[in-house]
Structure 1
Amino acid sequence: MLDDLDKRNTNGNPQVVPRMSSKIGFVGLGLMGTAMAANLAADGRNVCAYVRRPERINDLRALGVSATTHRPDLFDSDIIITMLPDDAAVRDIFFGPLGIAESLRPGAIHLSMSTISTGASAALLLEHERHGQGYVAAPVFGNPDAARARQLAVIVAGKPESYEHCRSLTDSLGKTFVIGTDPAQANLLKLLGNMMTATALEVLGEIVTVLRKRGQDPQQFVDIMTGTMFDSRVHKNYGSRLIAGSYKPGLTMPLALKDVRLALAEAELAGAPMPSVGVVRDRLITGIARGHGGLDWTALGMVASEEAGL
């Protein structure tokens, strides 16, 4: 059963029951992770971020986030948040050479907010349990702008005694949905949700291309559709960005392709074909091959235009 935990104060922000004495480790300080860590620090939390590049330290400190290039500085964390790009990166930080898990105290919790496979999530749960540690999957829907505005949708699954310790953190970052006790449930939902966005972007790109080739204004189409049948954030925000050719990266094409491949693998395990997602996979491969890999996945619209000779 879906548990909607969106409790907000009179300013519209999430009400947080602070545990300011807890130390929050944070690994994965990209565009999303930086915004999330900065918001937690702004709440007065003790956030310590692990970064590989020393030049990041001063930038993070300016946001109120203490930062280190020394992994052992995270060993005394009560909760460690990961916002990393893939399965291998998450596993390496905890269970690879110099992995954190061996030195993290029993009872500490790994709050995994990365978009990873269900198989990786299940393996992480078993490894953390072997070390006497908690594991909660909490992947998020939203882009860096939503992260900065505390408007993420956080999909949480894990043992209640673990996720209750993390709830004030997820509430602080946006709207929390607790969907079950098996962490892999959250990861599957996240992957499939991303496929809804991916296929919407592909269709929008195709439609915009048709309209342009027929000499009509695609913004007029998007305005009509989003004002009536498709009044969603995805269609409104991404539709206008696609038409404007605004491809500033939130989720880059290679990371989107990673998610698509993970979703298709999950579908294959279920014996449930996803042919529309297969089309998106091929488009992303094409876009990356053409040198668009540094662009946001809204550049699927650019690929559609190129395929039509525009």
Structure 2
Amino acid sequence: MSTVAIIGLGIMGLPMAVNLVKAGHDVIGYNRSQDKTDQLVEAGGRGASSVADAVRNAEFIITMVPDSPDVEAVLTGEDGVLAHAQQGAYWIDASTIRPDVSTRLAAAAEESGLKALDAPVSGGEQGAIEATLSIMVGGAEGDFAAALPILEAVGKTIVHVGPAGSGQTVKAANQLIVAGTIQLVAEALVFLEAHRVDTAAAVKVLAGGLAGNRILDRKAEGMLARTFEPGFRVDLHHKDLGIVVAAAREAGVAIPLGAHTAQLMGSLRAQGHGSLDHSALLLLVEQLSGIAPTDPSSR
């Protein structure tokens, strides 16, 4: 078994760390808030007081932090990975960041004697808890093969998609599809409710046909109940759609529906809903339809 450092023990990082412990690895976690580190220790892992302390003796280093500047700070800061990791260690960035930043940081890591993989994940909090994440991995094929046992402890569908930065590009496409699907599911549910259809029955039959998708499976129940406990926050999906729009512009690719969905996500966030689950796009559909939010039990 390997010594694995995890930097960032949030909604996704903590359950990933716990699953690595369950797989028998020696897991050292660092998080800015101590309570998350304490939860890892309770699960059998070890806590670190700093990034440097976490990575010093690690064979594999996983970063799971919110955005491109956060990854860069963790990697290149005075207390960071490049300054304190041992030569030959594998750095696996599971964050979702800009592909160009990912490529640049991978080159910096390689120059410092580390082996870099960008390995963003999809599946939300539940996927992280169940170790069923989909992981899209960019980097050298040999490094991917070496890191595969670590990734298999946290994910189910794990695919090498190309050189450095490719994982982030595929994740951007993933976030484009997910946001668009959530928006369409939200519109469908509001449409069904307006016609006073038995929405639970409607979701069941829709999920069994060509309209079936993971959003219906995992999110529709909470959307109908108007419970938006964050499995993936609006704030983060807003950030990810910014990555998508910028990358599409750079490539000269038109994404009209994606760009419109990005605006809707941004509007939802601007109205103060950034901490809700991204399925809260339903609230915006109601607002645009002139429907006042009501207790779903009254429908």
TM-score bin, normalised by smaller chain? over 0.9
For residue 88 of structure 2, what is the aligned residue in structure 1?
107
Shift of 1:112: 0.9
RMSD over equivalenced CA pairs, Å? 1.5
**Which of 30, 33, 51 does residue 71 from structure 1 map onto?**
51
1:23 aligns with 2:6: no
User: Aligned partners of 2:48 and 2:243: how far apart in 1?
Assistant: 32
Which shifted more, 153-162 or 40-49? 153-162
Deviations 1:167-194 (A, max 9, x none): 0011121224333441211111111111
User: Aligned partners of 1:56 and 1:43: how far apart in 2?
Assistant: 20
Shift of 1:238: 1.9
Shift of 1:86: 0.8
Deviations 1:239-284 (A, max 9, x none): 2222221211011111000000101111111111111112222212
- The TM-score normalised by the length of structure 2 is 0.92
User: Aligned partners of 1:56 and 1:114: how far apart in 2?
Assistant: 17
**1:1-310 matched pairs, under 5 angstroms:** 20=1, 22-73=2-53, 74-310=55-291
User: Aligned partners of 1:124 and 1:79: how far apart in 2?
Assistant: 16
User: Aligned partners of 2:238 and 2:61: how far apart in 1?
Assistant: 27
Residue identity matched to 2:228:
Y
Q: Is 1:82–1:114's contact at 8 Å kept on the other side of the alignment?
A: yes
Deviations 1:47-78 (A, max 9, x none): 00012223333222111121122222122211
Residue identity matched to 1:23:
T
User: Aligned partners of 1:37 and 1:257: how far apart in 2?
Assistant: 26
User: Aligned partners of 2:35 and 2:214: how far apart in 1?
Assistant: 35
Shift of 1:227: 1.2
Deviations 1:216-255 (A, max 9, x none): 3333332221111123322222222222212110111110
User: Aligned partners of 2:246 and 2:160: how far apart in 1?
Assistant: 22
Q: Is 1:170–1:176's contact at 8 Å kept on the other side of the alignment?
A: no
Higher RCO (CA 8 Å, separation ≥ 6 residues): 1
What SS does the aligned partner of 2:263 have?
helix
Residue identity (%): 26
Q: Is 2:68–2:97's contact at 8 Å kept on the other side of the alignment?
A: yes
Residue identity matched to 2:80:
G
User: Aligned partners of 1:257 and 1:31: how far apart in 2?
Assistant: 17
What SS does the aligned partner of 1:216 have?
coil
Residue identity matched to 1:158:
G
- The TM-score normalised by the length of structure 1 is 0.89
Count of residue correspondences: 290
Indicate how the Cα distance of structure 1 residues 235 and 54 shifts in structure 2: closer, same or farther if over 3 A, else same: closer
What SS does the aligned partner of 2:65 have?
coil
Shift of 1:107: 0.7
What SS does the aligned partner of 2:83 have?
coil
What SS does the aligned partner of 2:47 have?
strand
User: Aligned partners of 1:84 and 1:304: how far apart in 2?
Assistant: 30
Q: Is 2:128–2:154's contact at 8 Å kept on the other side of the alignment?
A: yes
In structure 2, stretches of 5+ residues that fail to align are 292-299
What SS does the aligned partner of 2:91 have?
strand
In structure 1, stretches of 5+ residues that fail to align are 1-19
